Structure 1
Amino acid sequence: MTPTDEHRPYLRIATEEAWAPTEMIDLYRRHLSEGTIADIGFHSLMGYFLGSAHPQPRAVVERLHAAAERRLADMDSAGIDHQVMALTAPGTQVLDAEEGARIARIANDRLSELCRAHPTRFSALAAVSYEDVDAAVAELRRAVRELGLKGLILNDHIRGSHIDDPRFAPLLAALEELDVPLYLHPNTPPDRMIEPYREAGLDGAVHGFGASAGLHLLRIITSGIFDRHPRLRLVVGHLGEGLPFWLHRIDHMHAKQVASGRYERIKPLRQPPSEYFRTSIWLTTSGMPWAPAILFTRDVIGADRVMYAMDYPYQFDAAEVQAQDALPLSDTEKADFFENIARRVFRLEF
Structure 2
Amino acid sequence: MAVIDAHTHILTEAMIAAIAGAVPGLAPRLTRLDDEAGILEILDVRQNPFPRAAWDLERRFADMTRQRVDMHVVCNIPHTFLYEADAGGADTVSEIQNESIGALCREHPDRFIGLATAPMQDPARAAATLERAVTAHGLRGLHLGSNIAGRNLDDPALDAVWEVADRHGLLVLVHPHKVVAAERMRGYYLTNLIGNPLETTIAAASLVFGGVIERHPRIRFLLSHAGGFVPFQAGRFRHGWRVRPEPKARLKGDPAESLDRLFYDSITHAPGPLRFLLEEVGPERILFGTDYPFDMGTTRGVEEVEEAIADPAARDAILSGNVRRLLGLEG
TM-score, length-normalised on structure 1? 0.82
Instruction: Name the structure where strand makes up a greater proportion of residues.
Output: 2
2: distance between equivalents of 1:173 and 1:314?
32
| CA shift for structure 1 position 343 | 0.7
1: distance between equivalents of 2:98 and 2:42?
25
- Residue in structure 2 matched with residue 275 of structure 1 by the alignment: 257
State which of 5, 8, 11 in structure 2 corresponds to 1:17.
8
Q: 1:1-350 residue pairs with structure 2 within 5 A?
A: 10-22=1-13, 23=16, 27-29=27-29, 37=43, 43=44, 46-47=45-46, 49=47, 52=48, 57-58=49-50, 60=51, 62-66=52-56, 68-92=57-81, 93-190=83-180, 193-198=181-186, 200-258=187-245, 263=246, 266-267=248-249, 269-278=251-260, 280-286=261-267, 288-315=268-295, 317-348=298-329
Q: Is the 8 A contact 1:189 1:203 kept in 2?
A: no
Q: Is the 8 A contact 2:67 2:299 kept in 1?
A: yes
| CA shift for structure 1 position 270 | 4.4
Identity of aligned residues (%): 23
Mean Cα deviation higher: 307-316 or 16-25: 16-25
2: distance between equivalents of 1:188 and 1:88?
13
Q: Is the 8 A contact 2:116 2:140 kept in 1?
A: yes
Q: Is the 8 A contact 1:11 1:335 kept in 2?
A: no
In the superposition, relative to structure 1, how do residues 137 and 70 fare at CA in structure 2: closer, same or farther (>3 Å)?
same
Secondary structure, in 3 states, of the residue corresponding to 1:135? helix
What code does the residue aligned with 1:83 have?
Answer: H
Mean Cα deviation higher: 107-116 or 312-321: 312-321
2: distance between equivalents of 1:341 and 1:303?
9
| CA shift for structure 1 position 69 | 2.0
Gaps of 5+ in 2: 21-25, 31-40
1: distance between equivalents of 2:328 and 2:142?
13
2: distance between equivalents of 1:189 and 1:145?
32
Q: Is the 8 A contact 1:112 1:148 kept in 2?
A: yes
1: distance between equivalents of 2:80 and 2:208?
24
What code does the residue aligned with 1:88 have?
Answer: I
Secondary structure, in 3 states, of the residue corresponding to 1:348? coil
In the superposition, relative to structure 1, how do residues 90 and 161 fare at CA in structure 2: closer, same or farther (>3 Å)?
farther
2: distance between equivalents of 1:120 and 1:349?
14
TM-score, length-normalised on structure 2? 0.86
2: distance between equivalents of 1:94 and 1:313?
25
Q: Is the 8 A contact 1:202 1:208 kept in 2?
A: no
| CA shift for structure 1 position 257 | 1.5
What code does the residue aligned with 1:328 have?
Answer: I
Q: Is the 8 A contact 1:115 1:123 kept in 2?
A: yes
Task: Provide runs of 4+ in structure 1 moved above 6 Å.
Answer: none
2: distance between equivalents of 1:285 and 1:120?
22
1: distance between equivalents of 2:313 and 2:68?
18
Aligned pairs, number: 310
Q: Is the 8 A contact 1:214 1:243 kept in 2?
A: yes
Secondary structure, in 3 states, of the residue corresponding to 1:248? helix
Q: For each residue in 1:19-51, what CA deviation from the matched residue of structure 2 results, as whole angstroms up to 9, or x when unmatched?
A: 124426972449xxxx995xxxxx4xx32x2xx
- Residue in structure 2 matched with residue 40 of structure 1 by the alignment: none
- Give the CA RMSD over aligned residues: 2.3
1: distance between equivalents of 2:298 and 2:143?
23
